[in-house]
Structure 1
């Protein structure tokens, strides 16, 4: 795409956006004005560079054919139900006669699910696997510090760098994951 077209779009974008906001507001979709304009520009930029330059170089008063083309496309996409924009992003049909207060909606969460108990069970499983691993004292301390105590490595009291701590921590995490998934060679 020619640089001149890019610069022209940057220069005119705010005016085109105002035009898009007006027509989208009239069409009842005021929050979609930026989307309509950007879709028009995306479609425009897929045209050949020669066509773009031709539209840019044809003047009609203080505007170019490119301005008129974009303005027509904005109006069409904002107001016509069969426009490319409306076709791509048509909303789902809604029945205005339905009273949503009387619908029996299914709750997302299972009322019998005990999340704290699940977390405790999983944590105990990690503790059990961790206790059975053959690790150095440093690796044990690093994992406990981060996983069980929830501390940050930037507060680590030892001489190790954060990178060393994270490397050590993730090696232990991977060992535990291997045990959990049954992929361990132990």
Structure 2
């Protein structure tokens, strides 16, 4: 494989690989995030519906056994019905299931990009500018893919970079716990500014 510094085509491919890796991680996180919300809202709505239905059929029994007044019982069922309606409305308006599916599509897109780039890097000796340009156009064009929200972009980028760093450390220290690796990396980052200041004072 050619050196990226000597071959700009390899450098461009590695840039596509790096960006695809990052985008796949971000979209994967968002897909899981919206998926969890979809399950939570759907389950919550179904659970409240079952509870309300049970209360309707067993209203007399519930009031006799709990000693709750008719007015309090009606207030409770009314509030529960309103909450159930709001959960259903939120689910329909926000559509977390659809958002999760669209981000899964983005993960698939960038996963294909990583495979395609890896295949071309393995055959770097026969790379052409046209083949690299086609890969860049095919996989860096994200107009039909969901966008990463601006307010989440930097946090997700940091999460991705931390995941990559932990993964590299895990390759060398497979028996070390993830928590220990994260703690060690955090301590190393915190010590870097101190080392820099000491170097400057030494000059």
TM-score range, shorter chain: under 0.3
TM-score (norm 2): 0.22
Q: Which is helix-richer, 1 or 2? A: 2
TM-score (norm 1): 0.23
Find the structure with the greater CA-based Rg. 1
Structure with bigger RCO (C-alpha 8 Å, 6+ apart): 2
